[in-house]
């Protein structure tokens, strides 16, 4: 506990003073630092079933939609990427707020209804207690373990933001065409190692992509990092580069086993079956290629890097303490 609270603290001045002080603060459960930090079991007193209700609601849904976990995992990334993990992605356009969902970068974000369902369940159990931001993070965490990935403990206590802008999403969510430097920057800025950054991209072991995300690789010329047969397949699936003619309902699996969280994604990358350009790039760039091949050979190594990276992702830039609010309806500020 002590170790984790040190690692996870964000923007809390007293933390740097000394380990002893931190210990005192945590033990006494007083002081500005404690109220302004994520902690394990944040809901243990006020909503003891919070985490299990998130998990059971998601688990029940996975039976009907085995691709729901993929949607939850990507949602968490896109939420955390814009102004921290504050559920800003769920806010609808009203007044000064313009929904992040308007941004092209959020093309394909889906199953927001499932977050609403979890929220309703929690509002019944403990009204006004569990934030939408924590629900997103917990649902993503459970999405991983429910599909065969690692069990990850994450601290809670995130608060919901009160503003959203589609322009912020345009600026901060990386596009499918992101280059290696910018890709590494996204995760390095959250304190991740290169291996953890590659592990994050391993989230593409789940889910699907659409033609709009890959036409840059197919037209006017074919990206030569695509395996020959695979590239041909993609061209058949996405036969036109013209946005107005692209069928946005057509989708492709992110890896061969896209309802299981495993290291198949990395095995696919090794044989030229990366779907988005950044997928192929991590397999080919000398900075990351050895990590890709290590993950392809050793699933546990992928899992442990993913787990530590996920904790960092979901702790980045969060609102805590009395910042923000706990939204009653995830789509609107209170
Ligand atoms: C710079 C890094 C990343 C880029 C450029 C990227 C890009 C994309 C793109 C273009 C799609 C497909 C959108 C579509 O066509 O429908 C996608 C899907 C997905 N991404 Fe990423 N991604 C990145 C990092 C991540 C991270 C860090 C996670 C989670 C931790 C993640 C999880 C997912 C998942 C699960 C899907 C499938 C979603 C579904 O089936 O609905 N991605 N990503
Ligand atoms: C498909 O989605 C893209 C991106 O949102 C959009 O530009 C395009 O017009 C859509 N195509 C069709 C046929 O709806």
**Separation CA 3–CA 1 (nearest Å):** 5
| Percent of the chain whose pLDDT exceeds 70 | 89
pLDDT (0 to 100) of residue 7 = 38
Q: What is the mean pLDDT of the chain?
A: 91
Q: How far apart are CA 282 and CA 288, in angstroms?
A: 5
Higher per-residue pLDDT: 29 or 329: 329
What integer is the mean pLDDT of 297-325? Answer: 97
Q: Which residues line ligand 2 (CB under 6 A)?
A: 104, 107, 212, 243-244, 246, 248
d(Cα 222, Cα 52) in Å, to the nearest integer? 47
> Within 6 Å (CB) of ligand 1, which residues are found?
67, 70-71, 73-74, 77, 107-108, 110, 174, 176, 178, 183, 186, 200-201, 203-204, 206-210, 212-213, 254, 276, 278
Here the tokens at position 75 are 């949602």
End-to-end CA distance of the chain: 33
Structure-block tokens of residue 313: 């992702």
Least confident range of 1-10, 47-56, 264-273, 281-290: 1-10
Q: Is the dihedral of CA 227, 241, 166, 180 positive or negative?
A: positive
* Residue 152 pLDDT: 98
Question: What are the structure tokens assigned to 247, written together?
Answer: 């069928």
CB distance 283 to 292 below 8 Å: yes
Say yes or no to pLDDT of 14 above 70. Answer: no
State the ligand closest to the CA atom of 217.
1
Residue 36: what pLDDT? Answer: 64
Average pLDDT over residues 310-329: 97
């Amino acid at each position: 506990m002590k170790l984790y609270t040190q690692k996870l603290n964000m923007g809390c001045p007293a933390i740097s003073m000394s380990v002893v002080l931190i210990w005192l603060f945590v033990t006494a459960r007083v002081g500005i630092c404690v109220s302004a930090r994520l902690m394990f079991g944040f809901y243990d007193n006020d909503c003891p079933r919070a985490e299990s209700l998130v998990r059971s609601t998601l688990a029940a849904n996975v039976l009907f939609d085995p691709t729901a976990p993929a949607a939850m995992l990507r949602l968490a990334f896109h939420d955390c990427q814009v102004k921290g993990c504050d559920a800003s992605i769920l806010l609808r356009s009203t007044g000064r707020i313009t929904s992040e969902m308007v941004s092209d970068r959020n093309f394909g974000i889906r199953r927001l209804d499932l977050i609403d369902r979890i929220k309703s369940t929690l509002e019944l159990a403990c009204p006004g207690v569990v934030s939408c931001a924590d629900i997103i993070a917990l649902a993503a965490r459970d999405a991983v373990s429910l599909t065969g990935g690692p069990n990850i403990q994450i601290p809670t206590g995130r608060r919901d933001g009160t503003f959203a802008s589609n322009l912020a999403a345009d600026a901060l969510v990386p596009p499918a065409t992101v280059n290696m430097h910018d890709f590494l920057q996204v995760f390095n800025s959250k304190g991740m190692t290169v291996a953890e950054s590659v592990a994050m991209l391993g989230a593409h072991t789940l889910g699907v992509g659409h033609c709009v995300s890959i036409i840059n690789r197919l037209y006017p010329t074919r990206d030569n990092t695509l395996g020959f047969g695979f590239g041909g397949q993609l061209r058949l699936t996405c036969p036109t580069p013209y946005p107005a003619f692209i069928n946005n309902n057509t989708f492709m699996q992110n890896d061969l086993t896209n309802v299981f969280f495993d290291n198949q994604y990395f095995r696919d990358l090794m044989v030229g079956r990366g779907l988005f350009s950044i997928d192929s790039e991590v397999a080919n760039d000398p900075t990351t290629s050895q990590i890709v091949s290590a993950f392809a050979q050793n699933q546990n190594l992928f899992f442990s890097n993913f787990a530590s990276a996920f904790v960092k992702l979901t702790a980045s830039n969060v609102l805590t303490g009395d910042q923000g609010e706990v939204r009653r309806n995830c789509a609107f500020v209170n």
